[in-house]
Amino acid sequence: MPHSGHIGRILVEMTTTPARRRLSSSPFAVAPEPVILSWEMDELVCHDSYGMGRIINVEAAAVTVDFRPQKVRIASPYPKLGKL
């Protein structure tokens, strides 16, 4: 069977997916909006693995926390880190 020049063009056109609108009657739950935490210097925090600590440096996408025998840099989305 001979190949047509249309095959490559059709595959490229099919790879784009239009945005879907969510219907209000949909039984599926809406994904929650991500919570963006803001940190301040000298704020007390608690980490699931390291315990309680104090923020000593705030960057755009990470914080450095002094957990008292060690200082740990934790990157966004700050897993296991919570405010006290």
Mean pLDDT of the chain: 82
Residue 14 has a pLDDT of 56
CA atoms of 42 and 54, how far apart (whole Å): 6
pLDDT tens by residue, 8-46 = 555 555 556 666 777 778 788 777 777 777 899 999 999
Helix-then-strand count for the chain, H and E? 1, 5
Which CATH architecture describes the domain 36-84? Roll (2.30)
Using a cut of 0.75, tell me whether the model's pTM lies above it: no
* 7, containing H or E segment: helix 6-14
Mean pLDDT value across residues 68-72: 94
Residue 45 has a pLDDT of 96
